[in-house]
Chain A
Amino acid sequence: MVATALQGIDPQRVVYDEVLAARRPWSHVVEQGQILRIVDLGGNQAVDFLVYNAADYSERYSAPDTIRLQGNIFLTTGSRLYSNDGGVLMTIVGDSVGRHDTSGGACSCESNSVRFGLDKKYQHACVENFLAALSRYGMGKRDLVSNINFFMNVPVSRDGTLEIVDGISEPGSTVDLRAEMNALVVISNCPQMNNPCNGYNPTPIRLVIWAPPAPAARR
């Protein structure tokens, strides 16, 4: 079931609503309590995602801790995004897809050269987007860790086989993330054209941030 992009959101509470073009980087601080919705407008688009404590960038998303503490390699509603310091950066509070990847990492010029051919190293890649975004916060390559790939389908079998296969998201698929602290979110709207992660055709996404209503006052 695919939701419409703003389903369930009070328009009065929207503080940010933009479309991010295919292949582009994005960054924004989502304040504690606010919810970020990522909308896969065209379907089957990988959204590479990193998150940092906005008050201390040395605290950042940890894929292994997240996998270990929830006992599962896939992310979906209820998954907490743990930091390297044991904190919870964000929680997935809504998901119309069912599972998202955090094992496959981000494409880079260099890994593209190994995976797809040495001539592919001049293509645009997620690491390039991440570096461009991180540089605005004084961060760089040392601050890159394994990321989340929203809407990307990376099954792992019991014999250990891992592969990137056709996506399971449709046009309009959404994932909602509540910030549990002031969270610097960095996104690369993946430019990969050589495997099925984007259906060989990168497409735009929509990013909506809203503030939920304050708890009802006590009578």
Chain B
Amino acid sequence: MVVTADDGLDPGLITWEETVPGGAYWSRKIKRGTTLRIVDLEGGQGVSLLCYNADNPIERYNAADTVKIQFGIFLGIGKVLYSDMGRVLFSITGETTGGAFDTLGGASNPASSTQKYGEGDWRDTRSNLINALAKHDLGKRDIVPNLNLFARVAVEEDGGLTFQERAKAGGYIDLRAEMNVLVVISNTPHVLHPSPTYRPTPVRVVVWNSPPPAPGDPCRTGCPEAVRGFENTDALFV
């Protein structure tokens, strides 16, 4: 069964579509004003994401600023992904997962995969990120704490972590590029996913020409911090 990845999208707006197999990595430059939809086709075990200013990759996603500026570790519609330069890389303009974003858990690596799945030829997030970044002349030094999609990690009162399963077939997230963004994803299980079975499943990536933000766009105007973040961002393009 194939879930429609372009649910509600005018096919004439789609500029790129591709299926990324389970375990694989993928990267692309997404132009300002277009939107990247990532569709969890079968309800897999998570997708890890890093993003950079495509025109100057020294500017990159900053997990700490993203949670600190927005006063919360859970992202959702109306929230944005901040760079380390006080600007916005992506706005979250749509999603069907009920806020299945993890900003704290980080990336799997060969050791964590072996610990969870035993010896085997597992594709892990960190190795995928290194290979993906290498093809853009970036590398280990450019790996910062990443964002995880289709997974949610709550913090208990004592600071402990709880993984909350949120993946479902056909769930998707829309990320509107607010600058030209280099996005890198690793379609590998979330490092805290409780399943001892390695089961990454394909995701569909769709890039589409989204409409310009309306004057009252919630991502741009939802709070004074957002207004200032976009003032900084839009200054790149004047």
Contacts and interface: CB of A to CB of B under 8 A. Distances in A.
A71 B154 contact: no
A117 B159 CA distance: 31
Interface residues of A, number: 45
Interface in A98-128: 99, 103-106, 108-115, 117-118, 121, 127
Nearest to A139: B141
A162 B158 CA distance: 14
Contacts of B141: 58, 142-143
B127 interface: no
Contact of B104 (A58, A64, A144): A64
Given A68-B192, A142-B142, A105 B228 contact: no
A118 B231 contact: yes
A219 interface: no
Nearest to B142: A142
A162 B145 CA distance: 17
A115 B69 contact: yes
Contacts of A157: 155, 157
Nearest to B101: A160
B105 A67 contact: yes
A169 to B, nearest CB: 17
Contacts, number: 131
Contacts of B87: 110
A73 B64 contact: no
Given A64-B107, A73-B161, A108-B84, A103 B64 contact: yes
B228 to A, nearest CB: 5
Nearest to B102: A64
Contacts of A141: 58, 84
A105 B65 CA distance: 7
B73 A103 contact: yes
A164 B64 CA distance: 12
B229 A99 contact: no
Given A67-B106, A114-B229, A106 B64 contact: yes
B78 to A, nearest CB: 14
Contacts of B69: 111, 114-115
Given A65-B106, A67-B161, A113-B86, A164 B155 contact: no
Interface string B139-162: 011111110000000111111110
Contact of A162 (B73, B144, B161): B73
Interface bracket on B: 35 or more
A113 B106 contact: no
Contact of A110 (B58, B68, B86): B86
B71 interface: yes
Contacts of A193: none
Nearest to B148: A64
B54 interface: no
A161 B232 CA distance: 25
Contacts of A62: 106, 145
Contacts of B192: 68
A52 to B, nearest CB: 11
B64 A72 contact: no
B103 to A, nearest CB: 9
B157 to A, nearest CB: 7
A72 B158 contact: yes
B104 A158 contact: no
A100 to B, nearest CB: 11
B58 A142 contact: yes
A27 interface: no
11 contacts: A62-B145, A68-B192, A73-B155, A84-B140, A104-B68, A109-B86, A111-B62, A113-B232, A114-B69, A115-B225, A162-B72
